[in-house]
Amino acid sequence: MGQTIETRSLDKTSGKTTSSRFPVVGIAGDSVFDVYDHTGKPNRAVVYFLAPPALKRQNSADFNIDFIVVRMKGNPDTSRRLLEKTLEETTPEGMYFQVGSPQDQLNRFLYPYRTITAIGGLLGGLALLLTTSGIFGMLSYVITQRRKELGIRMALGAGKACVTGMVLRQSVGLAAAGCGLGALTALAVARLLSHFTNKVEFFDAGGYAAGVLLVIAAALAASWLPARRAVNLDPARTLRCD
């Protein structure tokens, strides 16, 4: 703060070099975006400055100002219409102005990122739906095929709660093993993708926990429903049918 930065620019018309000095009046916080220098390497030290009148008169391309900031009071929509009308009446023909609030500018800038996030979330939700439905169908089929085994266990004296609990434990064990492998794979892929993005946290404990719990819940539902149907049947009838 308080130091001076000196810049030099070349006037292409006269061939003279113009020197300007800028006092440092403030220091901004870190940005989430990288700024790259002429070699393509990230450059976090970026200077924001306003062109002095001398350079403005020269119409230097390096200091071309293509926007203005207007502070207005009252209703935003009314102020915007008044500003647009004034610009249409005062600006030369062929000039185009896009009037918008800072929030509008931010929304336009973030629109591509929000769109990509929404599409990624939709695809992720679809993948999770297919996973849970696949687990449900697979376990339902497996338990249905074990009706004979369940009937034999009940004919030998096993209670309904005991048989149902055994089926649930086996199914949840398989689902938990699959969730563990899937979580490890997801973490490895997220670590790989983190090198291609900037300041994006891939490890979301809540998201991982929600996905694991949803898969476990699907496994429980897929096992409990057919297991209850099987143990509620008469053991003798189940053995005769199989």
Which residues contact residue 104 at a Cβ distance below 8 angstroms, ignoring those fewer than 6 apart?
none
Name the pairing type of β-strands 17-23 and 4-10.
Answer: antiparallel
Contact (CB, 8 A) for 40 and 32 = no
Query: What pLDDT sits at residue 227?
Result: 74
Per-residue tens of pLDDT for the chain, all 242 residues: 888 888 887 777 777 888 878 888 888 776 656 566 666 666 667 777 665 544 444 444 444 556 677 777 777 778 888 888 887 777 777 677 778 777 787 888 888 888 988 998 899 889 878 877 887 788 778 777 877 777 788 778 878 788 888 888 888 888 888 888 888 888 888 888 776 665 566 777 887 888 888 888 887 887 787 777 767 767 676 666 65
Which residues contact residue 51 at a Cβ distance below 8 angstroms, ignoring those fewer than 6 apart?
60, 63, 65
Closest CA to 224 of 151, 149, 145, 136: 136
Contact (CB, 8 A) for 130 and 211 = no
Query: What pLDDT sits at residue 198?
Result: 57
Calpha distance 235→151 (Å, rounded): 5
Cβ of 131: how many Cβ atoms within 10 Å? 16
Both structure tokens of 128: 């999770």
Query: What pLDDT sits at residue 63?
Result: 47
Query: What pLDDT sits at residue 208?
Result: 83
Query: What pLDDT sits at residue 200?
Result: 61
DSSP annotation string for 210-222: HHHHHHHHHHHHH
Closest CA to 72 of 64, 62, 82, 59: 82
DSSP 21: E
Structural domain boundaries in the chain: 1-66, 68-100, 126-241
Calpha distance 143→60 (Å, rounded): 77
Query: What pLDDT sits at residue 122?
Result: 92
